[in-house]
Amino acid sequence: MTITKNKNGTWRVDISDGINPLTGIQGRHRKYDCKTKKEAIEYEAKYRLEELGEFKRKDKLSIDSLYALLKKEDVLRGNRQSTKDTQDSYYRIYVSKFFQNADMRLVKTSDIKAFRDWLVKTPSVKGGNLSASNINTIMIFVGKLFDISMMNDLRKDNPCKALKRLPQQHKEMFYYTPEQFKQFISLFDESEYHFQLLYKILMFTGARIGEALALTWEQINLEIGYIDIKSSAHYRKSKVTIAETKTTQSIRRIYIHKALIDELSKWKQRQFQLLIKYISTPEQLQIYQNTPKVLTAPDVSNFKKEKLKKRAELINLKLIRNHDFRHSHAAFLISQGLRKGEGKDYLFFTLMKRLGHSSITTTINTYSHLFPTQQKEIANAFDDF
């Protein structure tokens, strides 16, 4: 028998793993310490599904088993660590709590709607309610769980498909003009140069914060003057992971201006002098390091909150989000292009390549409002109607 009772009252599970093709020996998986027969039965079903790909129609399909199958698929597809970490958070905080006793084979669209309604009322871990954007993202994750169940012939449908996305509020875009950026840069003292340099990279390249924090000297050509964006830094549980960029299109070469090239060249020499006794491969240093420890996203957030916020208030300067420096970069390039009389299509294409957008549609949807004259021309056309 697969499940038997031990003399001490606990239950044992003994499962055949099949014949090892190399040794010809019957493989077995055993667990000796299940407290109840029910726990032993559930463990057997879970192991057979997740490890052997076996599923009996009488077995309950738990949310834990579905998520285990999804994680296996994520590994096979080579999904980014940041994606997997985000899914882990959604699963631990929301999904596993709501569906902990559910048989996922029997869940209907009405149950999925009940889950979404529950999310609307559930407080966010950061305080306040979850935004419509966050709820929609969690629902996409739940939809992936049901896609996996269909892929493994555990269900014939995905009950999430019938639900439409919640309407999302348009997130207002903020950006600095060159004058405001100069004010912002003046907030840093000499000992905080590594933070200042990061913000210059964000402003002058349009890189995402993760892409900027992943930069080493190996990715910077100071002779020709360009930066190769190839990877992105992700921080979780006191550990930095360097992974591939957000999309294939995010891998790109960004040319930089002479003043930034000169500044980076001087800093590179100074950095090597500061850290020479700690390093054997200087080209692999993160470009912002002034200690053996790399600069991380939490370091940047804490510095902004603890130091920059007060200083900015003193000069009446609104602090913008890190991602808004990317928008500031785009806004400046658009304003320069319009002054030179460059066409809108050319500007959008140039921005798409420089920012690493996956499609021109993303660029147009994000930045078309920065072309006010074209909007006015469209309106004026009705005078001739």
- CATH number, residue 97: 1.10.150.130
- What average pLDDT does range 7-15 have in this prediction? 86
pLDDT of the residue at 1: 54
> What pTM does this model have?
0.73
75 and 155 in a single domain? The answer is yes
* Domain region containing 45: 1-59
Chain position carrying tokens 């050319």: 346
Q: How many helices (H) and strands (E) does the chain have?
A: 16, 8
- What average pLDDT does range 15-28 have in this prediction? 71
pLDDT of the residue at 379: 52
Where a domain ends, among 129, 145, 169? 169
46 located within any domain: yes
The rounded mean pLDDT for the chain is 87
84 and 102 in a single domain? The answer is yes
8 and 74 in a single domain? The answer is no
| Structural tokens at position 262 | 């000169």
Q: What share of the chain in percent tops pLDDT 70?
A: 91
pLDDT over 50 at 385, yes or no: no
Q: Measured between alpha carbons, how far is 62 from 101 in angstroms, rounded to an integer? A: 7
Where a domain ends, among 137, 169, 201? 169
109 located within any domain: yes
55 and 68 in a single domain? The answer is no
Express each pLDDT in 279-329 by its tens digit: 888 899 999 999 999 999 999 999 999 999 999 999 999 999 999 999 999
1 and 73 in a single domain? The answer is no
Express each pLDDT in 164-183 by its tens digit: 999 987 777 888 999 999 99
User: In which band, very low, low, confident or very high, does the pLDDT at 96 lie, cut at 50, 70 and 90?
Assistant: very high
Would you report the helix, strand and coil content of the chain in percent, each value rounded to 5?
55, 10, 35
pLDDT over 80 at 113, yes or no: yes
79 located within any domain: yes
Q: Identify the residue with better confidence: 339 or 288.
A: 288
Q: Identify the residue with better confidence: 131 or 25.
A: 131
Q: Measured between alpha carbons, how far is 379 from 41 in angstroms, rounded to an integer? A: 69
Please calculate the CA angle 290-293-295 and round it to the nearest 5 degrees.
75
pLDDT of the residue at 54: 63
22 located within any domain: yes
* Number of domains comprising the chain: 2
Burial 314-342 (b: 16+ CB within 10 A, else e): eeebebbebebbbbbbbbbbbeebbeeee
- What average pLDDT does range 38-55 have in this prediction? 72
131 and 92 in a single domain? The answer is yes
Q: Measured between alpha carbons, how far is 269 from 171 in angstroms, rounded to an integer? A: 41
pLDDT over 70 at 55, yes or no: no
160 located within any domain: yes
Q: What share of the chain in percent tops pLDDT 90?
A: 53
Q: What length is written for the chain?
A: 385
Which range (76-80, 249-253, 309-313) has the least confidence? Answer: 76-80
Q: Measured between alpha carbons, how far is 282 from 268 in angstroms, rounded to an integer? A: 9
pLDDT over 50 at 19, yes or no: yes
292 located within any domain: no
Q: What is the CA radius of gyration of the chain?
A: 27
29 and 125 in a single domain? The answer is no
pLDDT of the residue at 56: 59
pLDDT over 50 at 78, yes or no: yes
pLDDT of the residue at 299: 96
Task: Please name the residues in contact with 274: beta carbons below 8 A apart, sequence gap of 6 or more.
Answer: 290
pLDDT over 70 at 374, yes or no: no
Chain position carrying tokens 């002098």: 273
pLDDT over 50 at 33, yes or no: yes
pLDDT over 50 at 378, yes or no: no
Which range (77-86, 102-111, 336-345, 362-371) has the least confidence? Answer: 336-345
212 located within any domain: no
Q: What is the DSSP letter of 142?
A: H
87 and 40 in a single domain? The answer is no
pLDDT over 80 at 102, yes or no: yes
Q: Measured between alpha carbons, how far is 96 from 102 in angstroms, rounded to an integer? A: 10
131 and 164 in a single domain? The answer is yes
34 and 128 in a single domain? The answer is no
- What average pLDDT does range 18-31 have in this prediction? 73
- H/E stretch holding 17: strand 11-19
pLDDT over 70 at 371, yes or no: no
91 and 20 in a single domain? The answer is no
125 and 76 in a single domain? The answer is yes
Where a domain ends, among 169, 196, 215? 169
Q: Measured between alpha carbons, how far is 323 from 284 in angstroms, rounded to an integer? A: 25
134 located within any domain: yes
- What average pLDDT does range 116-123 have in this prediction? 94
pLDDT of the residue at 344: 78
